[in-house]
């Protein structure tokens, strides 16, 4: 079976007990489902990061991801612009020092 290249977009959303974080996760769920046909949420993961003050911070994290029918090599600017828009939306919705949005190549079996 041939493989087709896709781009996986992942957003790492902190998971404190605040409504704004649940609302953002739901907004990304809606965006990915209606734009690309679906998404996956992995909830309640343990994470840590280094704060700007140099302190190790522990937190819970949710990862939401979707695979889109583009090539990272051929559509790099489109993917980059889209991931920037996702990151900006997260910063506007949350009170966070950093939000990780990642894009990587994946291959689906056809």
Query: Three-state DSSP class for 71?
Result: coil
Domain count, the chain: 1
Q: Tell me, what CATH number does 49's domain have?
A: 3.30.70.120
- Torsion 71-35-38-89 (CA) sign: positive
Cα 2 to Cα 50, 67, 83, 104, 106: the distances in Å are 42, 17, 28, 19, 13
Range of the domain at 40: 3-109
Q: Tell me what pLDDT residue 100 has.
A: 93
Q: Write the pLDDT tens digit of every residue in 63-97.
A: 999 999 999 999 999 999 999 999 999 999 998 77
pTM: 0.90
Q: Write the pLDDT tens digit of every residue in 13-53.
A: 999 999 999 999 999 999 999 999 999 999 999 988 888 89
Query: Three-state DSSP class for 15?
Result: coil
């Amino acid at each position: 079976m041939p493989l087709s290249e896709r781009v996986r977009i992942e957003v790492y959303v902190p998971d404190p007990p605040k409504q704004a974080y649940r609302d953002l996760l739901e907004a990304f769920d809606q965006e990915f489902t209606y734009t690309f046909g679906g998404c996956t949420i992995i909830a309640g993961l343990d994470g840590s990061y280094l704060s700007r003050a140099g302190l190790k911070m522990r937190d819970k994290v949710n990862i939401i991801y979707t695979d889109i029918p583009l090539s990272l090599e051929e559509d790099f600017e489109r993917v980059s612009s889209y991931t920037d828009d996702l990151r900006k939306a997260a910063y506007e919705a949350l009170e966070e020092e950093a939000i990780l949005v990642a894009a990587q190549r994946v291959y689906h079996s056809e």
